[in-house]
Amino acid sequence: MEPDTGNDKRALRAELRQRRRGRTATERDEDTVALTATLQRFVEEREIASLTAYLSSVDEPNVRPFLNWAIDSGIRTLFPITREDGLLDWAVGDGETEREGLFGMPEVVGEVLSPLAIDDVDVILTPAAAVDRHGMRMGWGRGYYDKTLGSMAKRPPVYAVVFDAEFLDEVPSERHDQPVDGIITPSRILTFRS
């Protein structure tokens, strides 16, 4: 890793964290309603029957109302389970039953499936700190999704869920960073590659 790239990433992550923490309750509530509608439209238009998602933390775009809708609609939903070796296992969840996982992030409680369980889902919804106009995703620095996506021979479409202001002209990237196929924000669905 080039020192400047690592420093650039750390600085941008700090700025994005600060922006997220500075959002008002009204802004968060409005974005949650809009994001839920956008995610529902995305799933319905593409006739998605199975997906991966994540349990959003307090500062992340709130996908929880969408997850409740998806599960109630019979969409098979897999959630990541972090492992100490830097890989992700997956579990089918109900969107409600959770525990604290590694790094204090929420994780579902359920039967743990292998990393290969996501090979056949229709779409992977991933968290991100930011995504740029080329589809390069910048995560929060632990590399779980980069390792997972980079290890897949044939991966389903991957869409990062971010706030509108986190779609940037460019994000610093390194060789191991994995691009996404599109983004979903409260106001839009944008596809970079199909």
Q: What domains are defined for the chain? A: 3-191 (3.40.50.10420)
Q: pLDDT value at position 95?
A: 61
Could you tell me the mean pLDDT of each successive run of 10 residues in the chain, 194 residues long? 74 93 95 98 97 91 95 94 84 75 73 86 95 93 80 90 96 88 97 82
Q: pLDDT value at position 187?
A: 97
Q: Are 75 and 122 in contact (CB under 8 A)?
A: no
Q: Are 76 and 110 in contact (CB under 8 A)?
A: no
Q: pLDDT value at position 152?
A: 84
d(CA 100, CA 107): 6
Q: pLDDT value at position 175?
A: 84
Q: pLDDT value at position 140?
A: 83
Q: Are 91 and 163 in contact (CB under 8 A)?
A: no
Indicate the pTM of the whole model: 0.91
List, in order, residues 6 or more apart from 72 with CB less than 8 Å away.
none
Within 10 angstroms of residue 22's Cβ, the number of other Cβ atoms is 9
In the chain, the amino acid numbered 77 is T
Q: Which two tokens stand for residue 23?
A: 């959002």
Q: pLDDT value at position 3?
A: 56
